Structure 1
Amino acid sequence: MKTALLILAAGESKRMNGIKQLLPWKNTSLLGHAIAQALQAKASQVYVVLGANANTIAPTLAHCNIQIIENKNWKNGLGSSIAVGVQYIKETQEPYDAILITLADQPLIDAAYYNQLIAAYTEKKAKIIASQTNNKPCVPAMFDAQYFNQLSLLNQDQGAKEILVTAQKEVYRLPATANLIDLDTPSDYEQLFNNFGKE
């Protein structure tokens, strides 16, 4: 089975002091940590969607074995980043069975959790495997190839939620064993960094 792992890291993060993707986390940055975990997972290739501050962020990733995708329309929100990323992956013409979509600002997600999602896709025979937290489906989530076209047409800030809702009969919800908290404010980051982000 071939899985593409797509990390969304295109946002501007106005509420943060500085570029959120480059904030320190362990011995790297938030984005660097997300990439490191993704590369340890059982995915065939890791792709990263950049947008705001792409020219500053991209050089910090030169040593990583990833494919960078730039979303020039990042201001259109998360959905546009998914669409640009999935369209790019489709155009590579690699025979991927599924795409695992995740966010760069969920630093408590590790490779083991990505592998749980990948294993569930194989075992449950569901077309979508979504993380479940607070009784709601969310990302990280895996989408079967039959959803690639639909994903490539997203253009709203809701991301893939629309598909998770409309295709709920096809969704297997995996109770999250990882903490899926995402970092939206300086206080979020400071608290999580002090507890988990130091080397």
Structure 2
Amino acid sequence: MLLDQQLTACVRKLLKYGYLPKRSLKSLPPDQSSIVEDILIEKEGKYLVKGSELHRLLLIAIEVGLSREAIISSISWKTFEEVVRLLLEINSFNVKKHLRMRHHGKLFEIDLFATKEGRALAVECKYWRRHFTNRIGKAVRDLNSKMEVLKSLQPPIKAEGILVLPLLHGPSYRVENIVVTDIFQLGDYLSHTY
């Protein structure tokens, strides 16, 4: 039991700080250290999470028993957005971060703009931790406005919209033409839809 607590503590540190001191990993028995070793890289006396492995760290955190709420509260908004980007790339999308457009003198930005085989996705990452249900409507309207700007470009770009939240207590759903999902369901949604 103590060993499981040590592994869970190591995973929590990785989520929160993005690295482990060497002694933390060395204190784990081989069968448990191997769970996290392949997502780490050694640098300057620390074990850092490989950037391309952040999504696997979330899966490991679930496997060791951390709740989704605990996982989300342990990561930053930047890590949240980076995991969403990685999930898009794993599903063969080419991703541009922070696509900026000017329309009628106003600047618009889409968090992640992803393309694959002639299809485009406008993805907004909303790292809201609580009381977000009343904000979804405004976020959907804002994303629809950005998608209208994409359509007004030359050549016009027709994109599908996805709003990614930290947690949903239920399955993904649609509001108007926007898919609302959470970071834990996004990979399945992408692999089944695209």
* TM-score, normalisation: structure 1: 0.28
Q: Write 1 or 2 for the structure with the bigger share of helix.
A: 2
Q: Which one has the largest radius of gyration? A: 2
Q: TM-score, normalised by structure 2?
A: 0.29
